[in-house]
Amino acid sequence: MKIPYVDESYDKRSYVVCGFLINDINYRKLNETFNRFLDKEFGLPEDEELKGDELFNGRNRWRDHTMQQRAEGLSPQSIRLGEQQKRRPVRPMLG
């Protein structure tokens, strides 16, 4: 079975919808790996949502991180998560 994830984002000029499918047997491991990374690298608790708008624009918990720091922090994890799925990784487009 495949589990879909779909998310949307928008501003005054654009509206974007994207998503991906993951095999149900891989979901738990992917979720655990990503949550550990967010906690270790950014101190983000498991029950707190990673908000792309805040990350990209340096708001709230990301205020003290430069764009370069935010991009560098996520890129290695994107590569590792992509390799786990044996697919080409999707890298964040942050700058």
Q: Would the pTM count as exceeding 0.75? A: no
Domain residue spans in the chain? 25-95
pLDDT tens-digit series, residues 18-74 = 898 888 888 888 888 888 888 887 788 888 887 877 888 888 888 888 888 777 766
Distance of CA 76 to the CA centre of its chain: 11
In this predicted structure, the answer to whether residue 79 has a pLDDT above a threshold of 50 is no
User: Which pLDDT value is given to residue 75?
Assistant: 64
* Structure confidence at residue 80 (pLDDT): 52
Contacts by 6-13, CB closer than 8 A, 24 or more apart: 9/52, 9/53
**Residue from 56, 33, 58 nearest 46 by CA:** 33
